[in-house]
Structure 1
Amino acid sequence: MRAVDGVSLAVKRGETFCLVGESGSGKSVTALSAMGLLPRFRHRHPGGSIRLHADGSGEGMELLGASDDALRAVRGGRIGMIFQEPMTSLNPVMTIGDQLDEALLLHHPEMPSGERAERIVAALAEVRMPDPSGRVKEFPHRLSGGQRQRVMIAMALICEPALLIADEPTTALDVTVQAEILRLMRELQDSRGMGMLFITHDFGVVAQIADSVGVMRQGKLVEQGPASEVLRKPSHDYTRRLIGALPERLPREARAAARTEPLVRVEGLKVHFPVRRGFLRRVVDQFRAVDDVSLEVGAGEVVALVGESGCGKTTLGKALLRLIEPTGGRIELEGRDITHTSRQDLRALRRRMQVVFQDPGSSLNPRLPIMTTLLEPMRVHGIGRDDEERTRRAAELLERVEMPTDSLWRYPHEFSGGQRQRLAIARALVLEPRFILCDEITSALDVSVQAGILKLLRRLVDEDGLGMLFITHNMGVVEYLADRMVVMHQGRLVESGRTDAVLRSPSEDYTRSLLAAVPRLDGALVAAT
């Protein structure tokens, strides 16, 4: 398999080169080749050259085929790298200070401990970590996602590398946190004059930070050039298709504005968690994760629930489905109060309301073939006369979500991320629900795969009259998919209305700041596709 095939590119000092493309196109393999981090004995480089000109010499250092000792000196010293998921990159049993100190010990063993301690605090302050001197004693799990990513940036830059490789560093972050991280990385780059290879599939991010762009497909670099030229007048069909697949650029069909009686109604919903302190763990306060929230979702309608991490979106969704118990308020499903319905009675109602989670890889049972995953819920709820009829229904459902029927006999690990998400949607639909909750189900997908999922969801809602609550922080997805949107902040709904009206003229300052932080392609910048 030619994961990377004849790729040539250059990253200059002080320049940001964005490498874009779908999953499997070879972006990360290209970056890992420069770092010498590909698995030993499972790959080979039959040709090519990677040269690092960190010291200003004309010839530079050849990295392909370099010794382990030479590569260890380069990694973290002359080339820094920020990975996509900081929680899997940071050591959970070491404090933040110890992990930063380790990098300095490896590359500057002669540096006194006092100077290292000062440099660690200065590095955290440089990435604008709150209370940097106190954070050095914290463990990664006590930091937010944005703070963990700041630690990763500090660790990558603490030895002042000439080149920084950033592999999808903002994919899982909220738009406001993403905007801060991108602005921070740009400022640090400008102040240090380092080159940056930024891997992403978000063209909004590309438009915001890139000087040059390279587009990869199936291991080849199909287009590259200055960012303004590639985004304004893409020359390759593949680039044009990627830009055209952005959710805000997908064609929207006319939709009826009239609403029916709500399928789901939430009135004054509250979810509070006790705050315990002291040796006896006494309750000293209540954390108001959801505080007096009211909303409705009608048949044939998609309502988008947006807000930053920690605002209470997922907690609201779980309480609405009775996966966690509400502290107060009222929940109605098709006019029936289910707030205090017993667990036994609630089980029968489960087929009327279903959920699709963010990560299908962890929500699909890896030990069960897809047929068992789809047939088991039907058996529990008595759908179908026998397994033969249930198998036929499952095969028809796979066709509806545009998956081949032979998927029934395969396991989740045999599918791509987008295919697994389609299978998760099929599992939610197998019980013929009236209401579906989708929690960030497209956040980790490529733009083209995401476009297919969004079109599928919209078609299902329009054809079957489903009601859908869609939790997301992607405003492009909201613009294409949602009929109405509600904005959540610190456990409360601060704004709601028709999607086009809220996006065009938000009434709340928080909504305006949320929309202003979204990295987007300017409509005038990109040629029509």
Structure 2
Amino acid sequence: MSDNAIAVSNLTYRHRPDSPPALIDIDLHLPRGSRAIVVGANGAGKSTLLQILAGKRLVSTQGTDIRIKGCDVFRDSPPGVTFLGTEWAMNPVVRGDIVVSAFLDSLGGYRHKKRRDRLLDILDIDLDWHMHAISDGERRRVQLCFGLMTPWDVLLLDEVTVDLDVLVRDDLLTFLKDDSETRGATILYATHIFDGLNEFPTHIAHMRLGSLLTAPASWPINDGSALISQFSSATPLYRVALEWLKEDRDHRKQLEDQGRKTRGARRNETIPSDSEIFYKKYDYSH
């Protein structure tokens, strides 16, 4: 495991003891300096996996081994790990009336001025913004600046580029790729936005309903790739993700035919619901 920045073996996780597993027998190994994209539908377990790797969710360690930089994430928390998720922007603390320059300094920005200033330019941040008076997208930019201005060895990203415009997102991904290549740092990135990502990853992985269907496979696809049996070497990442997500949807529909709770419209119901009866009774629009 010493050659891997991230190493997970035999990970099964339940949100509650009586609930079905959110993650099922996950084995994931990423070499140092790699950049892996995790593809999967909503509910596939991507966020849960990243939160566990970040030490934000405790798991039973019996038979499970979860290491970052060779350190057990629960018993010997490794330094140099940064996790950035979507929940940050909703925290009331970061929605207070504080000026961005003071906010970044309070988080140690003065210690990393060169990286901070480069990120301020990339993310197009106004240091005079007040955190309570800016948009969610602008607040997301501040989050990324504070999270990335300290050099990291392992970066765990959970959908944090969703609020960015296409230009800022492209500049940020270029920065992350250069940073990874220059310092040999590792990135594990869960996203639903695949435009402009084709040149970014060194590996891609596929999760479905808590299982890792395709362990991180090398990207781009080449003759020795685990993906070559399904895709050609010319297939772009967007097309790979689209095919995988279609397969996920078809698989879920098969499970629904076998008794799994269905999604979508309930066309076979002949008895109206209680709410429908109530609202029809007091519907004066006609």
TM-score by length of 2: 0.65
1:246–1:37 distance in 2 versus 1, CA, 3 Å: closer
Which 10-residue stretch deviates more, 16-25 or 222-231?
Answer: 222-231
CA RMSD of aligned residues (A): 3.8
Give yes or no for the alignment of 1:189 onto 2:191.
Answer: no
Asked whether the 8 Å contact 1:124–1:151 carries over to 2, the reply is: no
Distance 1:152 1:26 in 2: 23
- Which residue of structure 2 lines up, in the alignment, with residue 479 of structure 1? none
- Which amino acid is 1:87 matched to? A
Give the drift of 1:17: 0.9
Give yes or no for the alignment of 1:212 onto 2:203.
Answer: yes
Aligned to 1:198, what secondary structure does the other structure show? strand
Distance 2:283 2:141 in 1: 48
1:15–1:373 distance in 2 versus 1, CA, 3 Å: farther
Query: Once the two structures are aligned, what percentage of the paired residues are identical?
Result: 21
1:377–1:162 distance in 2 versus 1, CA, 3 Å: farther
Matches within 5 A, 1:293-308: none
1:204–1:381 distance in 2 versus 1, CA, 3 Å: same
- Which residue of structure 2 lines up, in the alignment, with residue 61 of structure 1? 71
Paired positions, count:
229
Give the drift of 1:209: 1.4
**Greater C-alpha radius of gyration:** 1
Distance 1:131 1:196 in 2: 19
Distance 1:215 1:204 in 2: 17
- Which residue of structure 1 lines up, in the alignment, with residue 63 of structure 2? 47
Distance 2:164 2:119 in 1: 16
- Which residue of structure 2 lines up, in the alignment, with residue 379 of structure 1? 283
Distance 2:122 2:243 in 1: 40
Higher helix share: 1
- Which residue of structure 2 lines up, in the alignment, with residue 34 of structure 1? 53
Give the drift of 1:122: 3.3
Aligned to 1:9, what secondary structure does the other structure show? strand
Asked whether the 8 Å contact 2:39–2:241 carries over to 1, the reply is: no
Give the drift of 1:379: 1.1
**Unaligned residue ranges in structure 2 (runs of 5+):** 1-19, 232-237, 247-272
Matches within 5 A, 1:329-408: 371-372=275-276, 375=279, 379-382=283-286
Give the drift of 1:166: 0.7
Give the drift of 1:243: 2.0
- Which residue of structure 1 lines up, in the alignment, with residue 39 of structure 2? 20
1:245–1:49 distance in 2 versus 1, CA, 3 Å: closer
Asked whether the 8 Å contact 2:34–2:185 carries over to 1, the reply is: yes
Aligned to 1:177, what secondary structure does the other structure show? helix
Distance 1:151 1:234 in 2: 42
Residue by residue, what CA displacement relative to the aligned partner does 1:327-381 show, whole Å, maximum 9, x if unpaired? xxxxxxxxxxxxxxxxxxxxxxxxxxxxxxxxxxxxxxxxxx8835993698131
**Unaligned residue ranges in structure 1 (runs of 5+):** 54-59, 105-115, 248-368, 383-529
- Which amino acid is 2:284 matched to? V
Whose relative contact order is higher, 1 or 2, with alpha carbons under 8 Å and at least 6 apart?
2
Aligned to 2:104, what secondary structure does the other structure show? helix
1:9–1:152 distance in 2 versus 1, CA, 3 Å: same
Distance 1:378 1:166 in 2: 48
